[in-house]
Amino acid sequence: MDFLRPATWQDALAVKAERPDALPVQGGTDVMVEINFDRRRPAALLDLTGVRALADWDPADGRLRVGAGVPYARLITELGRSLPGLAQASRTVGSPQIRNRGTVGGNLGAASPAGDGHPPLLAGDAVVEAESAARGVRMIPVAEFFTGVKRTALAPDELIRAFWAAPASGPQYFSKIGTRNAMVIAVCSFAVALHPRERRVGTGLGSAAPTPRRAPAAEAFIAHELDWDGRGPLSEAAARRFGELVAEAASPIDDVRGTGDYRRRALSVMARRTLTWAWNDHRAGSTGSVGSLGREAS
């Protein structure tokens, strides 16, 4: 096995072009488990932790460009206000030790249907910035990034540079079902983001289908239903229907963590509750869950 340590982003792209068989490693919280258990023997490891630029984030064009190597712990402390949905999801990832190392770049690269970063990125219309030495930058909407279970739209010579997302313009919530409060892979998860300026609601479902996905019918229904001008209350019936449409967008499997029926039911409950919290925050004139621990979904 080779161990490749590029010091700059340009070097990293050049190495990846020359060695498409090299497996990128950032926090290692997915990669090292596979190596320790002999599930994977890549010809080479491409260590990205020496590439400083990946660990930075910057405002750009009214959006945030967040380097693929920013760990969850820093997303929570540094970006909790601007990306509250993602920060809430980040708080549920693994343990403090895992959050000190694990990154959204790695979450995207692993492309697990259960990855906790994915639902808030979907709900917030995030875009993945991928790059190769040969073809330059390619902007891939997160909704198009996942192509199958643990498969992504990345070409063999491409690396993830960053993700782009607008700072929250309304309340955002993330909710996750698991057997305890820490260290659990989601049985299923759900993220909602209100975009009041555009009168739109974004959604993201996790552990609910072969890939993370949105619930377009639920989004369209509720965008029309909400009283954006008067900020009137959300009717019980509309919230319930929203939950049903979210559940219908899922195609969950039965596995050791839960049955498909349970997942559908849980998704409808999480969707109804998180939407209600978000809309109530919006009515109260706050952007909501900023800096808080989020709320228990159960």
Partner 1 sequence: MRVNLTVNGSHQVVDDVWEGESLLFLLRERMGLPGSKNACEQGECGSCTVYLDGLPVCSCLVAAGQAEGRKVRTVEGLAEGQPGDERLDPVQEAFLEAGAVQCGFCTPGLIVQSHDLIERNPAPTDAEIREALAGNLCRCTGYEKIVDAVRLAAERKAAAS
Q: Applying CB under 8 A, which residues contact partner 1? A: 1-3, 5, 25, 27-29, 31-33, 35-37, 41, 44-45, 47, 49-50, 73, 94-98, 100-101, 181-183
* 66 touches ligand FAD (CB under 6 A): no
What Cα–Cα distance (Å) separates residue 109 from each residue in 128, 207, 288?
Answer: 11, 16, 30
CB of 35 to partner 1, least distance (A): 5
* 243 touches ligand FAD (CB under 6 A): no
The entry of partner 1, ligand FAD, none that residue 140 binds, CB within 5 to 8 Å by partner kind: none
Scan residues 95-134 and list those touching ligand FAD (CB under 6 A).
Answer: 98, 101-103, 105-107, 109-110, 115-116
Nearer to partner 1, 79 or 222 (CB): 79
Residue in the block written with tokens 């309304």: 170
CB of 241 to ligand FAD, least distance (A): 29
Out of 6, 24, 84, 113, the residue judged to bind ligand FAD by CB under 6 A: 24
CA–CA separation, 44 vs 158, rounded Å? 15
Name the maximum alpha-carbon separation found in the chain. Answer: 63
Per-residue contact string for residues 148-167; x = within reach of ligand FAD by CB under 6 A: -----------xx-------
Do 269 and 243 form a contact (C-beta atoms < 8 A)?
yes
The entry of ligand FAD, partner 1, none that residue 181 binds, CB within 5 to 8 Å by partner kind: partner 1
User: Which among 286, 273, 56 has a CA at the least distance from the CA of 171?
Assistant: 286
CB of 202 to partner 1, least distance (A): 29
* 23 touches ligand FAD (CB under 6 A): yes
Out of 66, 73, 86, 93, the residue judged to bind ligand FAD by CB under 6 A: 93
Out of 85, 94, 119, 124, the residue judged to bind ligand FAD by CB under 6 A: 94
Residues 6 or more apart whose Cβ sits within 8 Å of residue 286: 171
Nearer to ligand FAD, 87 or 226 (CB): 87
Scan residues 172-191 and list those touching ligand FAD (CB under 6 A).
Answer: 183
CA–CA separation, 247 vs 265, rounded Å? 7
CA–CA separation, 64 vs 57, rounded Å? 7
The footprint of ligand FAD (CB under 6 A) covers 23-31, 33, 48, 68, 92-94, 98, 101-103, 105-107, 109-110, 115-116, 159-160, 183
